Amino acid sequence: MVLSDAFYWATKTLFRVAFTLYNGLEVEGLGGILPQTTYIVASNHASYIDPPLLGGVFPGRLRYLAKDSLFENPVMRFLISNLGAIPVKREDSQRAGAVMKVVLERLAQGESFLLFPEGTRSKDGKLLPLEGGAAYLSVKSGVPLLPVYISGSSDAMPPHSSFPRPVRLKVTFGAPLFPDAAIAAEKQRRETLLTALDEALRSLERASGPR
């Protein structure tokens, strides 16, 4: 839809400008992102502002999953639908197979997807152990993982806060990670890719400086 496309790109630009002016947003590593390439964007997650922040700085369009309860309000449904959100029912969110199927379908259509491989928000902003979903999807689809680390979002909007604070934000993109086709066993390919993602995110975390 023309309206959807126009709304998405206008809102995307608005978010980036707002974060830049209000939070002194700094972005690094965009040069390593190849145009017209589908990615599984794998980021740390410490705040509710992470999805719009990444949507604003990623050079392409991103899809992501959202609870279906958020779509009950007509205004909210219009906003998040046009910003790439895909509704997931509560019962489906607890069934990994249903969620993986939705994401794989979108990746097959050439849509980049945002995932938070920790599986939940970090309470203190430090990176949590990773779950295997991102590596599984990458191996199944052949789509590379794009590690990205957000610094400052846990302080900008900590749990239970209602509005972001003017805390400096930094988003750093790492180098894309591809499944190793030389490894025959799929399980081993997933494990190797997950280890590489963990190392990449922790390296980006260390480079962001002490918290």
Each of the 211 residues of the chain gets a pLDDT tens digit; together they read 445 688 888 888 989 999 999 999 999 999 999 888 999 999 999 998 898 899 999 999 999 887 787 788 787 777 777 778 888 775 555 566 778 888 999 999 999 999 999 988 898 888 999 999 999 999 999 999 999 999 999 999 988 888 899 999 999 999 999 999 889 899 999 999 999 999 999 999 998 865 5
Residue at 137 is within a domain = yes
Cβ count within 10 A of residue 95 = 12
Tokens of 176: 């894309």
pLDDT score of 18: 94
CATH code for the domain of 174 = 3.40.1130.10
pLDDT score of 1: 46
Q: Which residue has tokens 């023309």?
A: 2
Residue at 102 is within a domain = yes
Residue 10, judged by CB atoms within 10 A of its CB (0-12, 13-18, 19+), counts as exposed
Which phi and psi angles does 105 have, rounded to 5°? Answer: -65, -45
Tokens of 17: 């400008």
Helical segments of 58-156, H only = 74-82, 90-93, 96-108, 133-141, 153-156
Distance CA(182)–CA(203), nearest Å, equals: 25
Residue at 145 is within a domain = yes
User: Cα 84 vs. chain centroid, distance in angstroms?
Assistant: 12
Residue at 99 is within a domain = yes
> In terms of residue numbers, what domain contains 197?
2-29+36-153+163-207
What residue type is 37 in one-letter code?
T
Edge-first strand order for the sheet with 170-173 is: 26-28, 170-173, 145-151, 40-43, 112-115, 62-67, 85-88
pLDDT score of 142: 95
Residue at 188 is within a domain = yes
pLDDT score of 210: 58
pLDDT score of 74: 82
Cβ count within 10 A of residue 111 = 18
pLDDT score of 2: 47
pLDDT score of 114: 94
- Measure Cα distances from 42 to 46, 73, 95, 127, 135 in Å: 13, 29, 20, 12, 10
Residue at 158 is within a domain = no
Residue at 112 is within a domain = yes
Which phi and psi angles does 194 have, rounded to 5°? Answer: -65, -40
Q: Which residue has tokens 């002016």?
A: 21
Distance CA(47)–CA(169), nearest Å, equals: 12
Residue at 120 is within a domain = yes
Domain count for the chain: 1
In this structure, what DSSP letter does residue 143 have? Answer: P
Decide: 18 and 94 in contact? Cβ < 8 Å. Answer: no
